[in-house]
Amino acid sequence: MVRKILIAAATAALTVSCSAPEAVKNDLRAPAYPLVTIDPYTSAWSTTNRLYDSQVKHWTGRDFPLMGTLRVDGELYRFMGAEDIPMETLAAISYEQPWQGRYTFDAPREGWQARDFNDSAWKSGAAAFGSPEETNVQTLWPTKDIWVRRTIEIDPAQLNGGTLFVKYSHDDTFELYFNGQQIVATPYEWKKDRWVEIPAELAATAADGRIVLAAHCNNRTGGALVDVGLYRRDNNSQVMTRTAEQISADVQATSTTYEFACGGVNLTLRFTAPLLLEDLDLVSRPVNYITYEVASNDGQEHDVEIYFEASPDWARNGSEQKCVSERYDDARFNYVKSGTVEQKILGRKGDDVRIDWGYFYMAADKASSRSSVGNAVAMRREFADRGTVEGRSEGDRMAITSPLGSVSAKGTSGYVMVGYDDIYSIQYFGENIRPYWNRNGNSSIEEQFAAAAKQYKSLMKRCAAFDAQLMDEAYAAGGKQYAELCALAYRQAIAAHKLILTPQGELAWLSKENFSNGSIGTVDVTYPSAPMFLYYNPELAKALLNFIFYYTESGKWTKPFPAHDIGTYPLANGQTYGGDMPVEESGNMLILTGAICKIEGKADYATKHWDALTAWADYLVENGLDPANQLCTDDFAGHWARNANLSIKAIVGVAAYGDMARMAGKADVAEKYTNAARDMAAAWKKMAAAGDHYRLTFDEGDTWSQKYNLVWDKMLGYNVFDDDIAPAEIAYYLTKQNRYGLPLDCRRNYTKSDWIVWTATMSPDKATFEKFIAPMYDFMNETTDRVPMSDWYNTDSTTHVGFQARSVVGGYFIKMLSDRGIK
């Protein structure tokens, strides 16, 4: 069995009458625009203001080439993606061909980047340079810093008629120079197979054929890697150079819509992920839509054809992996597909990785489309000349073309479906598990596409209605900027999960800890993301907790507090994170279980897991008021014992247990733990008091931190903390905001966007709430780091620190949850 990705195009003209209300346009310039959002592997984004200014990218930043071009009266208008041209290798990166370089672990003298710098005293070693777990490391790098120089000699004639590119991989902070001039400077991050174009004036410094690539990398923590290569693009191979003119972009909860002018016609392009959380079959269905609507804009009729092209990169981790592409058909569609030769099901785990088992498909209605697999440049030229492509079957690029005929002002439309069949999604405690949509093993991806096509019109209406409703509800709760952030967060939060049915017959909604460590089912990622799922479908909130309960109740996890995670995505075989978070995860599990019981109005879910909850509550009673020095979710600036916000979480967790006991009819237990929580809260107030606010830790003088965990005390009706604490904190926080928001605490200027919204939710009124949201909105609107929304960013600059595309943005919905009430 193998994993499959599909794009099915239904190209017959459609008349989509959408009577559903339209959402108010989102004016946020997104850091990245969600396009295809199915799961952590099939997650594609546009990272530029205009859809055609760059390649479509996976959330990790790796190119996911998906190009679209409209042919109008014989003229081409590229509206999506960049026209990538196959590169000629001049000096390959190490996994393609070995290379030797000079390196040093000691800080070199000034001018080490220069082409003519004398590096003869440096050591010589084989690339790549790094730690053993990284790709193709040949020279171990055990220190914090490394400097590397690679000298390349080429025939100067190879520079004619082309553009030079450098391909590089790094882990962590990295700077790279081409003949002495800087071409790359990264923040603290780790990336593989990135490309940087060399400007013509800089390439001219290599007129004699000699190039020196000089790099410095600092490894703050974890893996280490440096690798570089030189390539050339033949500029004569470009066909689709003209672009459409983008008019607008609008992100709603389930859709992203672009408007373009393409000569004499206008094009509306809409990406829709029908992730309606009340319908788990829809949430799990691995199918998204791309709808196109074309209409004349000048009163004339125009002959129009549309072209979609995709790369095998959607089905492989790296470009070094060989793929095979082919085409086939069934009764309704023509298909093309591509996948790796190796096909190791569930054979890769980690953070900055993509799936490399299964097949990428595109399909189109037989009566109105042509499909082709072949050489990218040849297919583009054929479409430019003829408006179609032949049904060849050699090569690895996939294309579908559709003739739209003579288009008038009345217009015509069609849609493309994008999907991914992962066959086996997760390894769950040693057993390979299929996706929820195929939990019984009796469906196929073709059936999923057929169902998606059958429901297209109804789902477009339902999604439009949902988008409008979300905007209305979020606007009422927190204003326009808050509503726009929630719309952007919606698909990001969902697509960072995978839904399965466990062998025990329970739902598991498994998160991937994107760009923090790749863990699966991390409890302190579940906690911030939960408000969205509590708001829309408590069954999914339970599915965020079920596997942690199972891990404990099965005896596989034996400690008196919950695990941090259950593995490294997609292998959920037990905790792989190196440290425990005893107070953190105990509080998280108790609070969220308490919230579920409140929403359901009964304690059934809690009583099912009573022994585990009791053990965790007892742990917090004993250890939670004054926490020891231990890992917690906010220790970015270092571990501090006696953390006041962590103590709040413990106290609210104990109160949650007491309330669940009350709901379960355990009066004596309820009284005992509720009183314990009240006593702990009273002690907390005395220990944390610092005049007009409350401390970061109980023993650190005039310090402060966001006490966002306090939000649950009032939301859930526990009221164990005095009413004057939250107002005092809110007033104090307003004096500490920077240009882009409230720092996490007094130690650094960075913040967490999810916690800002939680903190803001404790505001006494909507106007105060919006004072916290406005700077955060400005950051997302102005950040220069074009990645799927980061939750960890600097409040004094337009850069993020780390993390992107994480599910924790589901925490933005806590204000809506609070306003609706769950007591």
Question: So what's the pLDDT on residue 516?
Answer: 87
Q: Give the DSSP letter string of 667-701.
A: HHHHHHHHHHHHHHHHHHHHHHB-SSSB-SBTTSS
**Distance between CA atoms of residues 53 and 83, nearest Å:** 10
Residue with tokens 């007009």: 692
Which residue carries 């649950």 as its tokens? 712
Indicate if the pLDDT at residue 235 is higher than 90: no
Average per-residue pLDDT in the chain? Answer: 94
| Local structure of 386: helix, strand or coil | helix
Angle of CA points 286, 394, 86, to nearest 5°: 85
Tell how strand 333-340 and strand 359-365 pair up. Answer: antiparallel
- Residue 775 above 80 pLDDT? yes
Beta pairing partners, 509: 499
Indicate the DSSP class of residue 56.
-
Whole-angstrom distance, CA of residue 309 vs CA of residue 734? 50
The torsion angles phi and psi of 532, rounded to 5 degrees, stand at -65, -40
CA-based nearest residue to 379, from 388, 369, 370: 388
Bridge partners of residue 43, in order along the sequence = 37
369: confidence class by pLDDT, cuts 50, 70, 90: confident
Q: Across residues 111-129, what is the average pLDDT?
A: 97
Strands (E), 263-386: 265-272, 287-296, 302-310, 323-329, 333-340, 359-365, 370-374
How do residues 448-497 score in pLDDT, each as one tens digit?
999 999 999 999 999 999 999 999 999 999 999 999 999 999 999 999 99
pLDDT over 60 at 433, yes or no: yes
Which phi and psi (to 5°) does residue 163 adopt? -120, 135
CA distance 509 to 529: 12
DSSP class of 157:
G
- Vertex 386, ends 382 and 391: CA angle to 5°? 60
Phi-psi region of 492 (alpha: psi -120 to 50; beta: other; left: phi over 0): alpha
Across residues 732-745, what is the average pLDDT? 98
pLDDT in tens, 146-202: 999 999 999 998 888 789 999 999 999 999 999 999 999 999 988 888 999 999 999
* Alpha carbons 119 and 121: distance in angstroms, whole number: 5
Neighbours of 324 (CB within 10 A): 14
| Pick from 559, 50, 537, 94: nearest CA to 284 | 537
Residues 637 and 748: beta-carbon distance below 8 Å: yes
Backbone angles phi, psi at 453, to 5 degrees: -65, -40
Q: Are 492 and 37 in contact (CB under 8 A)?
A: yes
Amino acid at 493: A
pLDDT tens, residue by residue, 39-82: 999 999 999 999 999 999 999 999 999 999 999 999 999 999 99
φ and ψ at residue 131, rounded to 5 degrees: -100, 160
Element (H, E) at 647: helix 644-663
Hey, is 566 helix, strand or coil?
A: coil
User: Amino acid identity, residue 499?
Assistant: L
pLDDT tens column, 634-689: 877 777 899 999 999 999 999 999 999 999 999 999 999 999 999 999 999 999 99
Amino acid at 476: A
State pTM to two decimals. Answer: 0.90
Write the single-letter amino acid at 801. V
User: How far is 51 from 295, CA to CA, in rounded Å?
Assistant: 20
Question: Do the Cβ atoms of 358 and 5 come closer than 8 Å?
Answer: yes
Under 8 Å CB-to-CB from 64, ≥6 apart: which residues?
44, 55, 56, 57, 58, 311, 313, 314
Residue 420 main-chain phi, psi, to 5 deg: -145, 120
Q: What is the 3-state secondary structure (H, E, C) of 204-235?
A: HHHCCCEEEEEEEEECCCCCCEEEEEEEEEEH
Tell whether the model's pLDDT for residue 207 goes beyond 50.
yes
Strands 100-104, 123-126: pairing kind: antiparallel
- Spatial distance between the Cα atoms of 309 and 239, rounded to a whole number of angstroms: 13
**Dihedral sign, Cα of residue 579, residue 582, residue 583, residue 588:** positive
Cβ 288 vs Cβ 271: under 8 Å: yes
Mean pLDDT of 568-575: 98
CA separation, residue 780 to residues 26, 252, 475, 776, 789 (Å): 13, 15, 18, 7, 7
Q: Which pair of tokens denotes residue 87?
A: 């590169």
The pLDDT score that the predictor gives to residue 386 is 96
- Name 148's bridge partners: 103, 215
Token duo for residue 733: 């926080």
Report helix angle 456-478 to 480-495, nearest 10.
130
Helices and strands of the chain, counted as H and E runs: 19, 37
**Helix 610-623 vs helix 582-600: crossing angle, to nearest 10:** 130
The half-sphere exposure of 494 on its side-chain side, counting CA atoms within 13 A, is: 29
SS (H, E, C) 360-380: EEEEEECCCCEEEEECHHHHH
Is-contact 400 371, C-beta < 8 A?
Answer: yes
Q: Determine the pLDDT at residue 320.
A: 84
Look up residue 311 and give its DSSP letter: -
Residue 85: the pLDDT is 83
pLDDT tens digits, one per residue of 238-284: 999 999 999 999 999 999 999 999 999 999 999 999 999 999 999 99
Helix (H) / strand (E) element for 191: namely strand 190-197
Asked if residues 172 and 217 have their Cβ atoms less than 8 Å apart, the reply is yes
Kindly provide the b/e burial profile for residues 558-589, where b requires at least 16 CB atoms within 10 angstroms of the residue's own CB: eeebbbbbbbbbbbbbebbbeebbbbbbbbbb
Instruction: Specify the amino acid at residue 8.
Output: A
Residue holding tokens 């599915």? Answer: 543
CA distance 360 to 351: 21
The CA distance from 711 to 228, in Å, is 48
* Share above pLDDT 90 across residues of the chain, in percent, rounded to a whole number: 86
275-318 pLDDT, tens digit each:
999 999 999 999 999 999 999 999 999 999 999 999 999 999 98
Instruction: Go through the chain and tell me how many residues it has.
Output: 823
Could you tell me which of 236, 163, 171 has the C-alpha nearest to residue 203?
Answer: 163
Question: Is 583 strand, coil or helix?
Answer: helix
Query: Given its phi and psi angles, is residue 251 left (phi above 0), alpha (psi -120 to 50 degrees) or beta?
Result: beta
Radius of gyration of the chain (CA): 27
Query: Reduced to 3 states, what is the DSSP secondary structure of residue 245?
Result: strand
Helices 610-623, 667-688: crossing angle, 10 deg rounding: 30
